Amino acid sequence: MGHGHIAEFIIAECMRGEGRGQVFFRRDGLENTPERIVARNDYLEAHPDIRPEYRRAILEAGITLGMTRWEVAVAWGFDEEERRSAFCRETVSGQTRYQSWHGFRIGGVTYTLYVTGDTLTGISCQGIPDTRPLEDGP
C-alpha cells in the first residue's frame, strides 16, 4: 500500500467512527493500580468541565469516541512500555491531522485508535473487548 493509499485509509477510518456508542474498558488487571486511580482522579479534579458520560468512563478505565487524546491516555493509564509498543501513522488534509495508533495490547485485545485533530474518532480491535453502550446524561 503506497503512501497515498495509507493516507486515504487513515482518513476513511477516522471518518467511519467504528466503536461509536460504546465504551471500551481496560481490563487486564492493571486498570486499578493505585497510580492509575490517582492519575484519573487528579485529571478529573483538574478538568471539571468534562462531559458526565466521559467522566464516568474515565473513572472506570474506559474510553469512547469523542474523548480527547489526553482523556484516553489518563482513562487507560498508558505506561511507558505500552506507549513504546504502539506506533502512529499520520496524515494531514487541509488543516486537519488524522492519526492511527496501532499496537495497544491490553488484556489480550489489540487496539487501533483513530484520532482526528485531538479527538478519538474510531476504535478497532482484534479480540473480544470489554464494552458496554455509552450512557448519555448524568
Fold of 3-133: Beta-lactamase Inhibitory Protein; Chain:B, domain 1 (3.30.1450)
pLDDT of the chain, 138 residues: tens digit per residue: 556 788 999 999 999 999 999 999 999 999 999 999 999 999 999 999 999 999 999 999 999 999 999 999 999 998 777 777 788 999 999 999 999 999 888 888 999 999 999 999 999 999 999 999 987 654
Strand bridging mode 130-133 / 22-25:
antiparallel
| Main-chain dihedrals φ then ψ at residue 36, nearest 5 degrees | -70, -40
By the 10 Å C-beta count (0-12 exposed, 13-18 middle, 19+ buried), 65 is classed as buried
Cβ count near 3 (within 10 Å): 9
pLDDT tens column, 75-87: 999 877 777 778 8
pLDDT tens column, 84-112: 778 899 999 999 999 999 988 888 899 99
**6, three cell numbers:** 495509507
